[in-house]
Amino acid sequence: MRKKTLVKDISYFAKSLGHLDSLNIQLIKEIYNIGPRNLSMIARKLNVPKRTVHARFIKLRNEGLLSIHVLPKFHKLGMMNISVFLEVRPGFRTIISEILKSHDFLYRMYFTFGHKSDIFAHFTIPVERIKNFERYLNELRKGYAVSSLKMSFTGEYIAFLPNFDFFDEKNKIWKFDVKSYISDIQSGKFDRLHFTEPDSYKVSVDEIDVTILHWLQKNALTRFATIAKVKNVSRSLIKYHYDTHVEDKLICGYIVYTPRFIPHTSGLYLFEFEFEDLPGLEKFAFAIANTPFICLATKEIRRNKIYVELEIPIDDIETTIPSLVENLAKECGLTRQAVFMLRKSTYYWKPIPVSLFDEEKGWDYREEQYLEILHKKLA
């Protein structure tokens, strides 16, 4: 249990995290598990009147305390996840970020603080265009602005909720005793977190499927009628595609975000962990994934390396996380680690470029345009 807090008046916690009561936590968990489109089913599972569940849901959403985005199975779209870490010379970070933002297949990007990294960029590149993308990165390397660049091919990302078992609903504070937690791990109570690598990147979608994913990435609550209007088709056709093609086959999970810590007391961090073998990696990943800090995780393809994004309070980044990693390092065969602070205020993202998809031709990768912008910006 944390002995110190950043404020003496515990009522401040209740005001800041007041939305995290028992029912809302259960509601958030169910939305994470099955999505936000069937509140009636969630109400039945929770044994709560539908009216109550609906009112709670609307209140959370309207007050900016709940956002939900679809996380696609990018390999089903013929795309590969590629993480790029760039070290940029002073004065060039804004220019490089503008160059990266102009690329149609950029998914997410942060400015960072960390060793040999100033920008973290997550691309989802059509697999048949990987060589083209590598040439694009090589052009970035040639200029003066980028001093070093590292690229990592990963599998699909897994989105997580914080482990609410450590949340004190009465006092609205997290109670994570790292010593007890490590003891439970070492006693064999923990399982392993398995990462699956795509066995194929065959495109298994049509234009309507891609359009649905695009809009649900923006907001998982987008109405089918809205998507139907965009495509100039019937709502029933959109619902048919969602039910038969999208829901179970093309959605990896839901990125469900609700404020979990007191405002301005936490930071977002990207950790890179490498291991001697896969069993050690999976045990370590399971341990990290069951903390209050977990956000996203993925594994590098064909290597015993994972990337984990954590939201961590200031005092825990000083004590709890180092203690957890240190105590698990030997047992899990940890051979290397690196950490980057992701600057939340610089976060940029965009959904899949639906306008560039054609059922017969696949994805339109506009290489000449990307290179033209790159050279113009760096001239």
**Crossing angle of the two packed helices 278-289 and 178-186, in degrees rounded to 10:** 140
Asked whether 270 and 307 are in contact (CB, 8 A), the reply is: yes
Q: DSSP letter at 75?
A: G
What pLDDT digit, counting tens, does each position of 25-78 carry? 999 999 999 999 999 999 999 999 999 999 999 999 999 999 999 999 999 999
- The pLDDT, as a whole number, for residue 15 is 57
- The pLDDT, as a whole number, for residue 79 is 98
CA–CA gap between residue 61 and residue 55 (Å, rounded): 10
Alpha helices in 9-129 (DSSP H): 11-16, 22-34, 39-46, 50-62, 93-101
**Crossing angle of the two packed helices 224-231 and 207-218, in degrees rounded to 10:** 130
What pTM value is reported for the model? 0.93
Tokens standing for 72? 């696609």
Give the angle subtended at the CA of 343 by the CAs of 219 and 262, to the nearest 5°.
75
Longest dimension (CA), the chain: 63
Total count of residues recorded for the chain = 379
- In the chain, what are the domains? 20-64 (1.10.10), 76-156+346-352+360-378 (3.30.70.920), 207-249 (1.10.10)
Q: Is the pLDDT of residue 13 over 80?
A: no
Helix, strand or coil, per DSSP, at residue 171: coil
Rounded mean pLDDT of 202-217? 96
Residue 366: is it exposed, middle or buried by C-beta count within 10 angstroms (0-12/13-18/19+)? Answer: middle
Amino acid in the structure at residue 87: E
Q: Is the pLDDT of residue 237 over 90?
A: yes
- Gyration radius of the chain over CA positions: 22
Which residues are CB-neighbours of 214 under 8 A, at least 6 positions away?
A: 351, 352, 354
Q: Is the pLDDT of residue 12 over 50?
A: no
Q: What's the pLDDT band for 186 if we cut at 50, 70, 90? A: confident
Q: Is the pLDDT of residue 6 over 50?
A: no
Asked whether 159 and 256 are in contact (CB, 8 A), the reply is: yes
CA–CA gap between residue 291 and residue 279 (Å, rounded): 19
Computed over every residue of the chain, the mean pLDDT equals 93
Q: What's the pLDDT band for 187 if we cut at 50, 70, 90? A: confident
| Long-range CB contacts for residues 233-239, cutoff 8 Å, separation at least 24 | 233/208, 237/208, 238/208, 238/212
Rounded mean pLDDT of 344-364? 96
Q: Is the pLDDT of residue 188 over 80?
A: no
Q: How many CA atoms lie within 13 A of 143 on its CB side?
A: 21
- The pLDDT, as a whole number, for residue 379 is 87
- The pLDDT, as a whole number, for residue 8 is 44
CA–CA gap between residue 315 and residue 299 (Å, rounded): 28
What pLDDT digit, counting tens, does each position of 266-302 carry? 999 999 999 999 999 999 999 999 999 999 999 999 9
Rounded mean pLDDT of 134-153? 95
**Letter string b/e over residues 157-185, b meaning 16 or more CB atoms within 10 A of that residue's CB:** bbbbbbbbebbeeeebbbebebeebbeeb
Q: What's the pLDDT band for 179 if we cut at 50, 70, 90? A: very high
CA–CA gap between residue 163 and residue 155 (Å, rounded): 23
Rounded mean pLDDT of 115-132? 94
What pLDDT digit, counting tens, does each position of 310-329 carry? 999 998 999 999 999 999 99
Q: What percent of the chain has pLDDT over 90?
A: 89
Q: Is the pLDDT of residue 367 over 80?
A: yes
Q: What's the pLDDT band for 263 if we cut at 50, 70, 90? A: confident
Asked whether 205 and 185 are in contact (CB, 8 A), the reply is: no
